[in-house]
């Protein structure tokens, strides 16, 4: 139901791996449809949604630079094109599902996407369109996490939602450590000091400076994007306050 969300506007960060099957690359139709359907459900709450797409399912700039022995700047630009490809696929699937969407790019690709212009992006929100933001920041050496924090700040989003394969932030990898415990809440300071790898330092610093909360949650579970947009307390909240002690994870 429209108007049921506590958030006016959110930014959803989706990794490139979300578009493919585990251990594979490229774009998997079922994975694409799952992401699109989750976004459509979340948009029905009335919240304005911007999506930043990663590109690791197609190209990872740092890895490519090492393997091909090319300059990392060139490899990073190639990685930006991978995010555009994911964004194009997501836009098409959203519109097939009846959800208006617009693809915007940080690098000029007029035949494929609109150039990112803040005021134009805000007008798309007014027309109930989901925004898909691709090509990162448009600069090499900056991650798509940094892009997510930058765009969320630029667009006055209420929260940055980081969709992952686990249901929050743990003291260590729960897949390899059965004694790992989950945090319900962390402060920005704690997330950095404990080196939990929530986001890269540049992205985290920007969120901290602008007091932009981050929620890390599992996007695989059906309905979770809608739940977090509607304010349900799932995943781990990272904000300016001190943490609650981590809780034990039941087996």
Domain 9-248 has CATH 3.40.1160.10: yes
Per-residue pLDDT at 4: 66
The domain ranges of the chain are 9-248
Per-residue pLDDT at 34: 96
Q: In what order do the strands lie in the sheet with 169-170?
A: 169-170, 181-183, 247-248
- Report pLDDT digits (tens) over 17-46: 999 988 888 999 999 999 999 999 999 999
Name the E strands within 87-199: 101-105, 114-115, 130-134, 159-164, 169-170, 181-183, 185-187
- Structural Rg of the chain based on CA atoms: 17
Rounded Cα distance between 138 and 134, Å, is 9
C-beta of residue 136 within 8 angstroms of C-beta of residue 83: yes
Per-residue pLDDT at 23: 83
* Tens place of pLDDT per residue across the chain (251 aa): 455 679 999 999 999 999 998 888 899 999 999 999 999 999 999 999 999 999 999 987 778 888 888 899 999 999 999 999 999 999 999 999 999 999 999 999 999 999 999 999 999 999 999 999 999 999 999 999 999 999 999 999 999 999 998 899 999 888 888 889 999 999 999 998 888 888 999 999 999 999 999 999 999 999 999 999 999 999 999 998 754 444 444 33
Contacts 24+ apart (CB under 8 A), 42-46: 42/12, 42/225, 42/226, 42/229, 42/230, 43/99, 43/128, 43/130, 44/1, 44/2, 44/226, 45/1, 45/2, 45/3, 45/4, 45/5, 45/226, 45/229, 45/230, 46/1, 46/2, 46/3, 46/4, 46/5
Strand, coil or helix: 144: helix
Q: Write out the H or E segment, with its range, that includes residue 9.
A: strand 9-14
């Amino acid at each position: 139901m429209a108007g049921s969300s506590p958030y006016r506007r959110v930014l959803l960060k989706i990794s490139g791996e979300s578009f493919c099957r585990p251990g594979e690359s490229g774009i998997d139709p079922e994975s694409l449809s799952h992401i699109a359907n989750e976004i459509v459900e979340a948009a029905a709450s009335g919240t304005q949604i911007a999506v930043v797409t990663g590109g690791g399912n197609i190209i990872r700039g740092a890895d490519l630079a090492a393997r091909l022995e090319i300059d990392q700047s060139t490899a990073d630009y190639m990685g930006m094109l991978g995010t555009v490809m994911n964004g194009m696929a997501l836009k098409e699937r959203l519109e097939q599902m009846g959800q208006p969407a617009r693809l915007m790019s940080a690098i000029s690709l007029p035949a494929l996407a609109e150039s990112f212009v803040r005021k134009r992006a805000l007008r798309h929100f007014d027309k109930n369109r989901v925004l898909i933001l691709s090509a990162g920041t448009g600069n090499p050496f900056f991650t798509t996490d940094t892009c997510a924090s930058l765009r969320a700040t630029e667009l006055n989003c209420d929260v940055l939602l980081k969709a992952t394969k686990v249901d929050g932030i743990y003291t260590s990898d729960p897949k390899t450590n059965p004694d790992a415990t989950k945090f319900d809440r962390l402060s920005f300071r704690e997330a950095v000091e404990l080196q939990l790898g929530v986001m890269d330092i540049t992205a985290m610093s920007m969120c901290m400076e602008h007091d932009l909360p981050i929620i890390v949650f599992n996007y695989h579970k059906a309905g979770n994007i809608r739940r977090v947009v509607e304010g349900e307390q799932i995943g781990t909240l990272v904000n300016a306050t001190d943490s609650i002690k981590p809780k034990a994870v039941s087996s």
